[in-house]
Structure 1
Amino acid sequence: MAQSLYLPLLLIALCSISECVQRQYHFIHEMKNWTEAQIYCRENYTDLATVDNMNDTIQLMKSVNDVRLWIGLQRKWQWSSGDPALFLNWANQQPDGKDECAFMRNGEWHDWPCSNTLFFICYNMSRGLVFVDQKMNWTAAQSYCRQNHIDLVSVRNQNENQQLEKFINVKNPSGSGIWIGLFRDSWQWSDQSNYSFSYWNTGEPNNSGNNENCTVLLENTHGHWADISCDRQFPFVCHEDKLIVIQQNLSWSEALRYCRQHHVDLVSVQSVEMQRRVMNVVKLASTKAVWLGLRHSCALGIWFWVSGQTVCYQNWAPGNGTSEEDCEPTVRSGAVQSGGDQTWISRPETDRLNFICRNY
C-alpha cells in the first residue's frame, strides 16, 4: 500500500503537555469480598481498579467519594526463588487471606500459618524434585532446601502443577499437605502493574490483627487507602484498560488495519506517563518487539505518529530514530522492545510482530 496513505493530511506541530487518561473506571454497587470483586471485574472489564498516579485518583474520585470501595491492591504471592506467581491453582475459597505460606494437597493450593510443620518438596538442578520426609515449618523448609539443593519448589504452569501432584502422590500416599515455595510478600496490583505509587491514609497500612491483605479506598478522605481483611464485603471499582496487546504476528500495515477495525488505532506514545503504561502492558507480548503507531516518511525525512502528532517525546534506543532512515527495500516503522529497557527501535514494516492498540 502506498506510503502516502499513512501520512496524515495535517501533522500537529505542537506537542501536547496533557496526558491521556488510560483507564476508564466503573463503579459497581454490589457487596462482594475482594476475591469476588476481582472475579467480577475480570469477567466484565479488565480487572479491579489500579490507581497508580494522582491523575487516576482524581479521575476515580469524580464519581465516588462517600463510600468505602475495594481497589485492586493486595499483598502479593510470590515464589521463594524470587519468581512472580503468575500461575495460581488455589482450592475453593483459598486463599482466605489469613495466612502467609502455601501448601499443596490433591493438586490444589491452600494458605496456612508458616509456623505449622509439614513435609516439603525441594528443587535440585540435577535431581529435579526432591521429597523431604521431615516435618518443618515453612521458613525452616526454605532454609533446608537452599542449603542442600536450590530452593523450595516453584510451580509456573498447569503442566508443572500436574507433574508435582503425581510426584507427591507417589512419595506421600497419605495425602497430607506438602509445603511448596509460595508465600505472601509485598503489595501488588491485581493486573500485575508495578506498585510504584501509593496513597495510604495516615497510619496505614497497619495490618491490624495480621489479617489485612487487601486495600480499600476510604470514604471522605480524598481518595486515600487503607488495608483491610479481604473477606469483608464492599462495593468496588473495576477498570477498563485503554491499551491492549494483540498477540498476533502481523506486519505494521496489517497491525494498523487491525487496530482501526477492532479498536481505535495503533498506540501513540507522547509522554513519559504514556511510555510507562506501554511498559506495563508490553510484558504480555510474545515477540521481542511490539509495533507502535510510529512511522517514518521517506519523502519528508521525519518520524510521525499515525494519530497525526509529531514525535516530541523521544525514547529511542541508541542508533534508532534518525531522520535519514534506509527506505530500501521497505519503509521503516517503530516498535517498542518487550524486554530490556523497553526503548523504541526502527524495523522494516514487513516484520511480523505483536502490536498495541488503543481503545480511547
Structure 2
Amino acid sequence: MAQTLYFPLLLIALCSISECVQRQYHFINENKNWTEAQRYCRENYTDLATVDNMNDMIQLMKSVNDGGVQKIWIGLQKTDVYKWHWSSGDPVSFLNWTSGDPAGSNECTVMNNGQWANEACSNTRVFICYNMSRELVFVNQLKNWTDAQSYCRQNHIDLVSVRNQNENQQLEKFINDRNSSGSPVWIGLFRDTWQWSDNSTSSFRYWADNFKNNGKNAAIQLNKQGQWGDFTSGYNQLPFICHEDKLIVIQQSLSWSEALRYCRQNHVDLVSVQSVEMQYKVMNVVKLASTEAVWLGLRHSCALGIWFWVSGETVCYQNWAPGNGTSEEDCEPTVRSGAVQSGGDQTWISRPETDRLNFICRNY
C-alpha cells in the first residue's frame, strides 16, 4: 500500500520539472554580411540562429552582450518559393481548400463550413486558439491574423492547426456550436517565402510592425524589443547569432539497447520528450531520418506496467498514436520501447526493442 501511495506523489514531483531547450545560442560580435555570418556559424557551430518559439527568443536574447549593437543577423532568408506553414510549427500534412482556393497572393487562412480559403491577413475575423492539452478556445473578438496569432500566443499556445480529416471535422463542429454569426474564422495556416538557413521547418515569425518584406535576410532589431526586420545582406555588415543543436538524429539502424549505448557513449542520452515544445523540436530533426520510425528514450516496464523515460523522468506529456502506449503491453517475446514516426503526424508508437531504427541523441 505504501508503494501505491508513493508512486502518484512521485509522478506529481517529477512532472513539475522544467525541460532543457533544444539548442544553445552564441552571440558573435563581429561585423559580417549574412552570407559570411552563415559560413562562420556552419564552420564553428551548427548554423545561423533558428528560432522555434518565444522561449527560444528569450534564450537567444540572453546570449546577446549588445555593447550598443542595434541589429543582429539571424538565420532567416527569403527564397522565391511560397510555402504553407502552421503557426504552431505542426507539419502541413493535410489541406482542405474550398474549390478555387488558394487563389491570388493572400497569405492567411480562414475556415468556413469546414473548408478553407485564403484571405488578406489584414482582414479582421474571430479566431480559434488551442491550449497546452490541445483543447480548442473560441475567441469572439475581431482581429487581423497577426494580432490573433499574438493573442493566442500570449493567452494560450497558438492559433489552431489541423492535422487530419478527423481534426477538421471536430473543428467544424466546434465552430458551428459557438460562432453564431457564421462568419469565416482565422486558423493558423499562413504562407511566406522565408526559409531558415538550417532548413528547419520552424514557422515561428516575430516581425516588427514596420516590417516591409523588401530585404533578403532577417535581423533582430534590438531597439524594437527584439522584433525582426528584413535587410539586404550585401549592404549590411552586422554582428550575428549562431546556434548549436542539442538534438541529433543518428542515421544508423540499431536496436533500442544499442541506440541507448551509442548515445550514452558519444553524447548524453536518448532524447526525452516532456512537452509539446520539445515534440516540435523532435519533429524538426526527425525529418533527417532514413527509417520510418526513430527511437526515443522511452521504455516500457513489464513489472510495473508503465512507460518511463530512461533519463529518470516520468511520462507526463504524451503523444501516442491511437492504440499505442497502453500500460498492458505484450512483453513476449521481447520488451517494448517507444519511437516517433518520421512521417505523417509524427506521433509515438510502441515497437519491439529488437527492431533496428535510427535514433535521436541529446547533447545536453
TM-score using structure 2 length: 0.64
SS in 1 for 2:230: strand
Counterpart of 1:205 in structure 2: which amino acid?
K
The residue that corresponds to 2:322 in the other structure is 318
The residue that corresponds to 2:337 in the other structure is 333
The residue that corresponds to 1:266 in the other structure is 270
Cα shift readout 1:215-243 (whole Å, capped 9, x = no counterpart): 11112322111000021211110000111
Equivalents in 1 of 2:12, 2:253: separation in Å?
30
Give runs of ≥4 in structure 1 deviating > 6 Å: none
Cα shift readout 1:50-88 (whole Å, capped 9, x = no counterpart): 1221111111112324422110011135499xxxxxxxx
Of 203, 223, 227 in structure 2, the residue corresponding to residue 220 of structure 1 is 223
Deviation at 1:245, TM superposition (A): 0.4
Counterpart of 1:225 in structure 2: which amino acid?
W
Counterpart of 1:187 in structure 2: which amino acid?
W
- Counterparts of residues 206-355 of structure 1 (less than 5 Å): 206-207=213-214, 212-231=215-234, 232-355=236-359
The residue that corresponds to 1:44 in the other structure is 44
Deviation at 1:16, TM superposition (A): 2.7
The residue that corresponds to 2:194 in the other structure is 187
Equivalents in 2 of 1:195, 1:328: separation in Å?
40
Unaligned stretches of 5+ residues in structure 2:
1-9, 84-191
1:12–1:309 contact (8 Å) kept in structure 2:
no
Cα shift readout 1:228-284 (whole Å, capped 9, x = no counterpart): 002121111000011110001110001001111111100000000000000000000
Counterpart of 1:29 in structure 2: which amino acid?
N
1:11–1:308 contact (8 Å) kept in structure 2:
no
Matched, 1:204 2:208: no
The residue that corresponds to 2:77 in the other structure is 74
Instruction: Answer with 1 or 2: which has the greater Rg.
Output: 1
Equivalents in 2 of 1:224, 1:54: separation in Å?
11
The residue that corresponds to 1:21 in the other structure is 21
Equivalents in 2 of 1:53, 1:17: separation in Å?
20
Q: Identify which range, 329-338 or 307-316, moves more after superposition.
A: 307-316
Give the percent of matched residue pairs that are identical in Structure 1 and Structure 2: 80
SS in 1 for 2:41: helix
Cα shift readout 1:116-160 (whole Å, capped 9, x = no counterpart): xxxxxxxxxxxxxxxxxxxxxxxxxxxxxxxxxxxxxxxxxxxxx
Equivalents in 2 of 1:190, 1:342: separation in Å?
23
Deviation at 1:197, TM superposition (A): 1.8
Equivalents in 1 of 2:202, 2:287: separation in Å?
15
Deviation at 1:11, TM superposition (A): 7.4
Alignment coverage as a number of residue pairs: 243
Distance of aligned partners of 1:255 and 1:267 in 2 relative to their CA distance in 1, 3 Å threshold: same
SS in 2 for 1:220: helix
Equivalents in 1 of 2:31, 2:337: separation in Å?
48
Counterpart of 1:198 in structure 2: which amino acid?
R
The residue that corresponds to 2:129 in the other structure is none
Counterpart of 1:227 in structure 2: which amino acid?
D
Deviation at 1:18, TM superposition (A): 3.2
- Counterparts of residues 80-95 of structure 1 (less than 5 Å): none
2:82–2:193 contact (8 Å) kept in structure 1:
no
SS in 1 for 2:224: coil
Deviation at 1:12, TM superposition (A): 7.7
Counterpart of 1:39 in structure 2: which amino acid?
R
1:187–1:195 contact (8 Å) kept in structure 2:
no
1:294–1:303 contact (8 Å) kept in structure 2:
yes
The residue that corresponds to 1:61 in the other structure is 61
Counterpart of 2:285 in structure 1: which amino acid?
V
SS in 2 for 1:321: coil
Deviation at 1:347, TM superposition (A): 0.3
Equivalents in 2 of 1:15, 1:77: separation in Å?
44
